[in-house]
Structure 1
């Protein structure tokens, strides 16, 4: 069976399960469990003869020799036992559950996976299959998985601009399903740039370090990396299941590429003795942060600075509020401009993320020694938002849409850049003198305001209206959430006035 036929076979069975109420996410999890066990079985056979550390009572043979209800019962036992194992095994099967309630269809899925020799397939085939399923899952709005999925075209452009080198470390403190890691892996293994044996080992075992707080997403990330030849079957997972903002820090790294979760509220929910949410506790008290704030993106931005070596580089997707917010936001921006070399800002168009209402940017900066000097000379801003219209379905963002930005970025020598209509330079003194040191800067005129003939197609226009309304609603929710709750006494006093 060729790769295209296999991919179609996997897709078709996914559609069959959807008729039973099994969504892409649930299907992905079951495929992950079974495919991992089948790959382990293949690695244990000649010529590999590898010790997989999977108990014989839980191995692939124990599944494929059963059918019907005995298979279903044994499958549940396997998921539970392997979830208690250390290392990669325990990470893949952590709190694993069977979501396929029809034993006959579970048996069919086992037989379908057993029929293939997966190790004989190219890593690109296995990886593309899994990536395709991840994207389908992200497109399914009911699953909510879109929040973990960054457009691959954007990842490719960010990686090409940063231009990571072999034998250097890469981190993502909120890595989702591993898109940035795979983007770096693809860049370092691109045709015409061969790696030697030492570089290849480093890429597979030591390059990537991540955090993902959601257990199911972390599982998908680890499997996604494994299918792309990153990590080992019986090794330690390269992605920790922990909140990066409160977990023990790694040693510093060379690169951080990330799209931290949007939404200002902390991922922690802490209650006081009365069982009520403790709003004062929803901040991260860290001595290495410039400011204490409950704004999650500002905390991730500060955290990323602490993760970098003094020669480290970062490219981070951030929402608009990080560019203009006052208070802690202003203080953090001023400190960032002073202590790091903040050199490039890409203003992203709306309509490219699965989460609606997102207005985002990519901030590129280099860490510098904390020597008291001002390290930002100026920031180059590329406006890819004004007069640009995209939707996820009819006009998705493509790699070619970012080519002009990549050319303007000029990674070969950032000091030989040229201004264009969309690419402008703002020196440090100009930026620091702006109200709140705001980086929320536009200069292009919206052509549709003067000429109705320039309006985007109706479906694009409708989606942009939805995005704007969603963004406004999100802002109102954040304001409401930040207000102290009125006590019953307050309500009583108000009603008596």
Structure 2
């Protein structure tokens, strides 16, 4: 039976909707994704087990050990082990096995035992895959509700390669991610970057066959998956990419791993930890590992504990109040020296904020590492309404000759379709921005191949002009369309406090001079 995309999405949402009286929608993912992936693994294992039995009629001649060796050598790529061996409760840690017990007390504990058994039996693939599993506790989710979710999800047709493609399966997974983010406010949206923003940044960075792709704040793994998908769509071999990600939240890292598996991507490594404090991908000498493509949508203006002595520091250390430039410094350190490139989504404040961030910005510009700034529309994201931008970096000396000693500015802030909850970017918008990014330049720095988009403006700006503006990258200084600086509230408050402090110092100095001259009355 061929399963349509719409059918599997509807039935999966029906299962998620069983949670509506038990927890906020923002928490659905912690329950639905582990259950969905467990069903996928179990259905796949059962399907291949039946193929093994059909192809090996007359197994009576084989010992259990020999049969196990043949099955796992030629048919299975992971193990669904037996649990409670040697007892009357012995059963396989599969979906169907535990589903048969949903009317019995202690369902959550049995589910937890089964999932932990699968992780333990497949340490090279599924370690920590299912996250903390706190939802298996009766105090968090009652057995009745868990049973209802499982029974409803069981109406989803068999989730194996003989019944549905990985494109359908991966699409259903992403549908749930988007659905949770659309309806849940910021909490679910924190680890979900809108598909069109992901597609834009991946199109710009253009991963190639056999390259490595790294996301230091990978969330649900969307940028890693999009890299393989983009390569496949262009006739390449997405499966040849080596995918790496790090995520600070263990449950979200589990979501990423499951997402990658659902898309039939197995050449990946997702680690858990704070990338700034403890980067998990390192060389033998302790330096951070380097990659061909680095992509990220890190948490904006994150408060962090600044480095004290870290080789990733470039120019200065980012302020405690915002780790934006610290993430950039980490990504620059992670770029391969010859063909590496990095793209990161950040708030516009990184373009013009002062103090340590200005020093970092100056160093990066003087080293000619910043290739492009792409201004995006406001209200694209689930977690913030502020406009954002994509910064594109290249290692020193690797820019195209005509792009050296300057930065390409592309203002796409007016290229969007207004929506009920948030704005979106169309495929045509993405194509126009990518065309602008790849456009050739004339001797005056004008783009020769810029499509006539009307409200899409691009300009290559020399480093000398940027220096003349005090290394300020605010797009309004270089592109007339961007008339208003896109500042978040925190940036405005910081700027106001600095201006007020400077004014008070100036007034105190003035009053002192006036008093020395015998002129009084100005301080009343």
- TM-score by length of structure 1 reads 0.77
SS, match of residue 309 in structure 1:
coil
Within a 5 Å distance, the mapping from 1:249-328 to structure 2 comes to 249-250=281-282, 251-266=289-304, 281-283=305-307, 285-290=309-314, 291-293=316-318, 294=320, 295-311=322-338, 312-328=340-356
2:184 aligned partner: 141
SS, match of residue 238 in structure 1:
strand
Identify which range, 345-354 or 355-364, moves more after superposition: 355-364
Within a 5 Å distance, the mapping from 1:105-184 to structure 2 comes to 105-109=148-152, 111-113=154-156, 115-120=157-162, 121-142=164-185, 144-184=187-227
**How far off its partner does 1:394 sit?**
6.7
Within a 5 Å distance, the mapping from 1:412-491 to structure 2 comes to 417-418=447-448, 422-435=457-470, 437-442=471-476, 443-445=479-481, 471-472=488-489, 476=493
Within a 5 Å distance, the mapping from 1:343-354 to structure 2 comes to 343-354=371-382
Q: For residues 51 and 249 of structure 1, what CA distance do their matches in structure 2 show?
A: 26
> Cα 1:17–1:143, aligned 2, differ >3 Å: closer, same or farther?
farther
Q: For residues 93 and 162 of structure 1, what CA distance do their matches in structure 2 show?
A: 31
Q: Does 1:50 align with 2:51?
A: no
SS, match of residue 18 in structure 2:
helix
**How far off its partner does 1:342 sit?**
2.0
> Cα 1:322–1:39, aligned 2, differ >3 Å: closer, same or farther?
same
> Cα 1:363–1:59, aligned 2, differ >3 Å: closer, same or farther?
same
SS, match of residue 390 in structure 2:
strand
The runs of 5 or more residues in structure 2 that have no matched partner are: 53-73, 84-91, 283-288, 498-524
Q: For residues 187 and 290 of structure 2, what CA distance do their matches in structure 1 show?
A: 32
**How far off its partner does 1:319 sit?**
1.4
SS, match of residue 396 in structure 1:
coil
SS, match of residue 128 in structure 2:
helix
Q: For residues 180 and 263 of structure 2, what CA distance do their matches in structure 1 show?
A: 19
Q: Residues 380-403 of structure 1: CA distance to partner in whole angstroms, max 9, x if unpaired?
A: 111122686745637533222233
Contact 2:185 2:383 in 1 (8 A): no
Contact 1:263 1:297 in 2 (8 A): yes
From 383, 400, 408, give the equivalent of 1:355. Answer: 383
Q: Residues 306-330 of structure 1: CA distance to partner in whole angstroms, max 9, x if unpaired?
A: 0011121111112112111222212
2:365 aligned partner: 337
Q: For residues 312 and 424 of structure 2, what CA distance do their matches in structure 1 show?
A: 39
Q: For residues 356 and 343 of structure 2, what CA distance do their matches in structure 1 show?
A: 21
Q: Does 1:244 align with 2:275?
A: yes
Q: For residues 385 and 84 of structure 1, what CA distance do their matches in structure 2 show?
A: 49
**How far off its partner does 1:189 sit?**
0.7
- In angstroms, what is the RMSD of aligned CA positions? 3.3
**How far off its partner does 1:335 sit?**
1.6
Identify which range, 412-421 or 305-314, moves more after superposition: 412-421
The aligned length equals 429
Contact 1:378 1:427 in 2 (8 A): yes
Contact 2:446 2:460 in 1 (8 A): no
- TM-score by length of structure 2 reads 0.73
Larger gyration radius, structure 1 or structure 2: 2
SS, match of residue 148 in structure 1:
coil
1:226 aligned partner: 261
Contact 1:24 1:136 in 2 (8 A): no
Within a 5 Å distance, the mapping from 1:8-47 to structure 2 comes to 8-18=10-20, 20-41=21-42, 42-43=44-45, 45=49, 46-47=51-52
Identify which range, 121-130 or 59-68, moves more after superposition: 59-68
**How far off its partner does 1:65 sit?**
2.8
Contact 1:350 1:389 in 2 (8 A): no
Q: Residues 52-109 of structure 1: CA distance to partner in whole angstroms, max 9, x if unpaired?
A: 2443116105313312234344123334555666343232123113264225404414
The runs of 5 or more residues in structure 1 that have no matched partner are: 267-280, 450-466, 481-497
Identify which range, 207-216 or 31-40, moves more after superposition: 31-40
> Cα 1:444–1:15, aligned 2, differ >3 Å: closer, same or farther?
same
Q: Residues 241-280 of structure 1: CA distance to partner in whole angstroms, max 9, x if unpaired?
A: 11111224442100111111112411xxxxxxxxxxxxxx
Identify which range, 157-166 or 168-177, moves more after superposition: 157-166
Identify which range, 83-92 or 141-150, moves more after superposition: 83-92
**How far off its partner does 1:219 sit?**
1.2
Contact 2:417 2:426 in 1 (8 A): no
2:408 aligned partner: 380
> Cα 1:395–1:221, aligned 2, differ >3 Å: closer, same or farther?
same
SS, match of residue 314 in structure 1:
strand
Q: For residues 406 and 30 of structure 2, what CA distance do their matches in structure 1 show?
A: 46
**How far off its partner does 1:154 sit?**
1.8
Q: For residues 469 and 93 of structure 2, what CA distance do their matches in structure 1 show?
A: 63
